[in-house]
Amino acid sequence: MVKNSFISVISQEENKENRGSVEFQVFSFTNKIRRLTSHLELHKKDYSSQIGLRKILEKRQRLLTYLSKKNRVHYKELIDQLDIRETKTR
């Protein structure tokens, strides 16, 4: 249900569903991260899921870095909308 509401927000802005956009990919990775985090709270020794979570976190981090360099305004809006922390700059 949350995914559908986000798709409608993106489609309203761009008048089409653009599932390959950076914003949509970050949104889908964030949903996967939240699901895996809740799974790992119950199953602390599921090391395969821990590795998968780290990989997804790295992918999302790379996409957020790209978005912050490309369009800072969209980056800030996405961070606020998804309620995630801002990336550290080096």
Q: How far apart are the C-alpha atoms of 38 and 14, rounded to whole Å?
A: 33
Tens of pLDDT, residues 57-86: 999 999 999 999 999 999 999 999 999 988
Q: Is 85 left (phi over 0), alpha (psi -120 to 50) or beta?
A: beta
pLDDT, residue 4, reads 59
Q: How far apart are the C-alpha atoms of 53 and 66, rounded to whole Å?
A: 20
What are the structural domains, with CATH classification, of the chain?
2-82 (1.10.287.10)
* Half-sphere exposure in the Cβ direction for 86 (13 Å, CA): 12
What global pTM score does this model have?
Answer: 0.77
